[in-house]
Amino acid sequence: MIFVLLPAFNEEASLPNLLPKIQKVMQDNNYAYKVLCCDDGSSDHTSVLLKEYQASMPIDVITHVINRGLGETSRDLFELAAELADFDDVIVRLDCDDTHEPEFIPNLINKLDQGFDVVIASRFEPGGGQVGISTYRAVISRLANLFMKVFFPIKGLKEYSCGFRAYRASVIKKAIQFFGNDFIQLKGMGFTCTLEKLVKLKLLGAKFGEVAFVLRYDQKLSSSKMITSITTWGYLTMALVYHWPWGGWRRKYREQLEPSQPNSLSVHMQLKRQ
């Protein structure tokens, strides 16, 4: 089973484009699937459209009465997916604004099958790229990814900020078992949760891979949800708590993991020594 996670805030213009493409990819590849969508306090017709599509697609909807932001939305989606999924299932998360083409989902899943725990859709892999991004935004994105690679080096990763990813359900279930509500801890810091999930999974020893994809920002019909200043502050906060004081998260979680037995976290997910 593939669980497709969609965080949605005022996406009435994008859903009629995105959902049929998800349905087609799943049917063409004979995937058993379920869409989990969190309507994060939308003030447009997002909720109405989701109800309409439930008649033709397997969609479960989480509703936030007020807008809570991407951090809390992601937490709720991943916790629900972990509750519903079996260990051998797959969790795919993509943006709801039609900038992430579902046609790349089979490539993500095929890469998982090569032994990876997390696979990121990467603009920076050969064959990847982006369309419709201004020069200013492209430079900022490159600098942000460079910052993250310096402070949070992860073998096999060049793309840190893209939320289009596939995860083994087992690694998400184990992460939530271990971190609890702190799997996404910096909930109020914009898009920081996209980075935080990578860092937390790295601390558990997850194996990461990438596949090429093209970001289609030219297809974006809704307004941007990112507040750059908040997300930037979140990245700086992540660097602080990861490294300092006295070893930061790396030391804290290593000490918690060391007494763990294989029946609570599998051996291959034991924290790698820094």
Model confidence band, residue 263 (pLDDT cutoffs 50, 70, 90)? very low
Nearest CA to 30 out of 116, 105, 114, 121 is that of 105
Segments making up each domain of the chain, as ranges? 2-240
Query: Which CATH number applies to 2-240?
Result: 3.90.550.10
pTM: 0.88
Give the whole-angstrom CA distance, residue 124 versus residue 129.
7
- pLDDT of residue 261 exceeding 60: no
Residues 6+ apart with CB under 8 A from 53: 15, 19, 59
Rounded to an integer, the average pLDDT of 59-71 is 95
CA atoms within 13 A on the CB side of 116: 20
- DSSP assignment of 46-108 equals HHHHHHHHTTTS-EEEEEESS---HHHHHHHHHHHHHHH--TT-EEEE--SSS-S-GGGHHHH
Which H/E stretch holds residue 167? strand 165-168
For the ranges 2-11, 136-145, 253-262, the one whose mean pLDDT is highest: 2-11
- Strand arrangement, sheet containing 165-168: 59-64, 33-40, 2-8, 90-93, 165-168, 118-122, 208-212
- Here the tokens at position 120 are 């990121």
